Amino acid sequence: MPAPRPSPKGGAKRGAGGFAAPPAGSWVGDRKPTHWTLHPFRTFLYQPLSETAVTMLDPLDIQEHSDSAVPSGLSPRQQQILALLKAGKVNKEIANELGIGLGTVKQHVVALFKKLNVSNRTMAVAQGLNLQTEPPALMDSVLERRPCVVLSIRLPTPAQPEHLGELYKTLSSLAAEQHALLLERRETAAADLIFGIQRVTEQDIFKALRAAHTVYAALSRLPEQSPVLQGGLTAGLAIVSMHRRGGWSGEAVVSAVISKARALVAEACPGILLLGQPAIDLLDALGSSAPGCAPAALAFSTLERMPWGRGMGRETPLTGRAAELASLEALLEDSRLAADSSPKAASGNPLVYIEGETGMGKSRLCRHLAERNTELGGHSHHFVCQPGGDKGDFYIFPSGAPVQWPALLHCMKSASGRTHELVIVDDCHLLPAAVLTKLAEAGARCKGKLILLTARKFAAGLPEPCQRLKLGRISHAEVASLVAALHHRSHAPRENAVLDVRPVLPAPLQTIQADADATRSVAGCIPTPSVGTISEEALPSRIAELAAGVPLFAVELARHAAADAIPLSLQVVIGARMDGLPLDRAVLRQAAKTAAPCSAEQIADALQELPASVGAAVEQAIAAGVLKRDDDGGLHFVHPLLRQVIHQAGVE
């Protein structure tokens, strides 16, 4: 085999695949990159290069520091390749065996030869037989595809120094508070704020909207005339270097979403925040409104309000919640009768708790009950919580107007004289614990009103409600019925997919469609359980199988049935849950590579790691409700989409 060509001087600093390192000072949480942790990132970028280009890369530049992590002198990947060389495998067979690119294999082989100080395969195998095999150390970071939300803001140029200083000061404070990543672009008087790198949350899209309003408000308070901002907001996937148990390692972030947000800024009119289609989809899926209410553009001056609205006939059917609906409507009727007889004398516990994980339909039940109360002649006060500050943030639904904590308490305590009032506070789990306790205590003392609070779970020690409803998974048949109902509502035949139930929104220029097309083209490279090729008759059952009883999963899969990847909204929901669990991502990713059950020993063997360490990581995943064992001891993911999202997140 010919010796590798020496790399050109400075070759390692050139970007690959169109990516370049950011300027110094642009990254939050900087630490000096190590060759060991950056090796997979470089490998990923070098894969598309030609065979000639790969041979020009200096293998020592990538591998020399990684070896210290392995007592035997070889990295785990090098040990795997050496074992396959001993078995007589050629490069193509090694690539197929390990699931990596042929160029990557060649790069590893060159590095292996240099490490062993040999020039051919026969010498490498002979030298490898003399190596003392010792347990490899765990790699400290992995590359991962993660959902992110990008807010891009630009000042008019030339920008005044006071305006530029206030912009970056405000964004720096927001980045620290929200664990976001700030990229300053002083040459163009612009900046990007990236949410979801450190930890994904279902509120990232709303945090971005509130951040845009905070910047607008800060600049408006300046004594000089406030500048007219332009903004872009979109979402998508980023390739990020992550610690194995969560948290950004501070080394790498690569995403086309950043350039898409900047393109939206370039198209936005002065004073306007333009939204990409992925951001609109997230607002629709994760907001408090019915699908189809999210706008395509917002004025900065209106960002104090959440972009919500009434469903106007687009509400998702409440399939599978007949028992919960009957209980809530009975409570509403009892409250109405008691209030009509004597509002001030109405007694009894007015407090109701609804518990359920994201996607189980808590907000949908709240909207239904508020509408039902209005139909009965009552008055509803509907609030939605968002995280923020010591008291949390509250917004009125459906207007989206912010409301202060004292005003919410006053609404509960005051006697308006109206009959059968209903007070709803949705997403209470986003409030600080002390605030939630005060809220529940105030609700329990209310007279003449029905108080409905929702959360993922209410902690022990809160006032006991008159009724606690726990929303679990609905049946396979109910999910299939829900999907069929959405398809029937669309009133438009389609051969292989369920149509989107939202109305067509005005798209500014061609950005939104181009954004969606680009997302699909990237997603098409990711192996996922696409439902777009299934017949119309089989589609509801297939979606029901993937949704596994979660209504939101069914709705989003039906809405995006023709897509090549799992909808971004579901990646956000699942990613938010996984980021809240300090589990070993490398172990989970290996377990997710096949739908067949596997054992901890098989995972340890595939990762070339200690069985005891992998076994402990598996037990933690089981305790967290991510993995489960079957009767034969095989490991499965508790939800089929959980496995698919984890597998999709992997980057070789």
Common-topology check for domains 141-302 and 581-652: no
φ, ψ at 210 (rounded to 5°)? -70, -35
Q: Where are the beta strands (DSSP E) in 68-216?
A: 141-154, 181-185, 190-195
Q: What is the pLDDT of residue 515?
A: 41
| pTM as predicted | 0.74
Kindly state the tokens that stand for 373.
């109360």
Class of the CATH domain delimited by 581-652: mainly alpha
DSSP three-state, residue 90 = coil
Cα distance between the two ends of the chain:
26
Q: What is the pLDDT of residue 31?
A: 40
φ, ψ at 407 (rounded to 5°)? -65, -35
- Do you find a cis peptide bond into 59, omega within 30 degrees of 0? no
- Helix, strand, coil percent content, the chain, rounded in steps of 5: 45, 15, 40
Q: What is the pLDDT of residue 616?
A: 94
Alpha-carbon gap, residue 220 to 315, rounded angstroms:
38
Q: What is 11-129's CATH topology? A: Arc Repressor Mutant, subunit A (1.10.10)
What are the DSSP calls for 433-477, one per residue?
HHHHHHHHHHHHT-SSEEEEEEES-PPTTSPPPSEEEE--PPPHH
- Do you find a cis peptide bond into 611, omega within 30 degrees of 0? no
φ, ψ at 151 (rounded to 5°)? -110, 120
Architecture per CATH, 141-302: 2-Layer Sandwich (3.30)
Q: Cβ(172)–Cβ(191) under 8 Å?
A: no
Candidate CATH numbers 3.40.50, 1.20.120, 2.120.10, 3.10.450; the one for domain 322-470: 3.40.50
Helix H or strand E segment including 515: helix 511-523
Q: Cβ(109)–Cβ(120) under 8 Å?
A: no
Alpha-carbon gap, residue 27 to 248, rounded angstroms:
11
Alpha-carbon gap, residue 125 to 120, rounded angstroms:
9
What are the DSSP calls for 569-609, one per residue?
HHHHHHHHHHHTS---HHHHHHHTT-SS-B-HHHHHHHHT-
Kindly state the tokens that stand for 595.
């739908």
DSSP 8-state secondary structure symbol assigned to residue 562: T
Number of Cβ within 10 Å of residue 247's Cβ equals 16
DSSP 8-state secondary structure symbol assigned to residue 55: H
φ, ψ at 217 (rounded to 5°)? -65, -40
Alpha-carbon gap, residue 222 to 543, rounded angstroms:
53
Q: Starting from the edge strand earliest in sequence, which strands make up the sheet with 421-426, in order?
A: 402-403, 393-396, 379-386, 421-426, 449-455, 351-355, 467-470
Kindly state the tokens that stand for 606.
């595939």
Alpha-carbon gap, residue 147 to 575, rounded angstroms:
8
Number of Cβ within 10 Å of residue 117's Cβ equals 9
Q: What is the pLDDT of residue 114?
A: 84
Number of Cβ within 10 Å of residue 560's Cβ equals 25
Nearest to 149 by CA among 454, 511, 476, 575: 575
Q: How many CA atoms lie within 13 A of 530 on its CB side?
A: 14
Alpha-carbon gap, residue 149 to 128, rounded angstroms:
47
Nearest to 532 by CA among 502, 480, 567: 567
What are the DSSP calls for 611-630, one per residue?
HHHHHHHHHHHHHTTSEEE-
Alpha helices (H) along 32-120: 35-46, 51-56, 59-63, 76-86, 91-98, 102-116
Q: What is the pLDDT of residue 100?
A: 80
Angle in degrees, 0-180, between the axes of helices 121-129 and 76-86, rounded to the nearest 10? 110
What is the mean pLDDT of each successive set of 10 residues along the chain, which is 652 residues long? 46 37 38 40 38 31 34 69 83 81 85 84 71 51 92 94 95 95 95 96 96 96 89 97 90 94 97 97 91 91 91 81 95 83 63 96 95 91 90 92 92 74 95 94 89 96 95 95 83 39 34 38 37 71 93 93 89 95 93 90 90 93 95 92 92 73
Q: Cβ(598)–Cβ(643) under 8 Å?
A: no
Q: What is the pLDDT of residue 505?
A: 33
Instruction: Say if strands 351-355 and 449-455 run parallel, antiparallel, or are unpaired.
Output: parallel
Q: Cβ(533)–Cβ(297) under 8 Å?
A: no
What is the 3 state secondary structure string of 382-406?
Answer: EEEEECCCCCCEEEECCCCCEECHH
Helix H or strand E segment including 232: strand 230-243
Contacts 24+ apart (CB under 8 A), 106-111: 106/51, 106/54, 106/55, 107/43, 107/46, 107/54, 107/57, 107/59, 107/62, 108/77, 108/78, 108/81, 109/81, 109/85, 110/4, 110/55, 110/59, 111/59, 111/60, 111/62, 111/63, 111/78
Q: Cβ(190)–Cβ(230) under 8 Å?
A: no
Q: What is the pLDDT of residue 21?
A: 38
Sorted by where each begins, the domain ranges of the chain are: 11-129, 141-302, 322-470, 581-652
Alpha-carbon gap, residue 585 to 382, rounded angstroms:
39
What is the 3 state secondary structure string of 471-513?
Answer: CCCCCHHHHHHHHHHHHHHHCCCCCCCCCCCCCCCCCCCCHHH
Alpha-carbon gap, residue 8 to 10, rounded angstroms:
6
Alpha-carbon gap, residue 240 to 593, rounded angstroms:
20
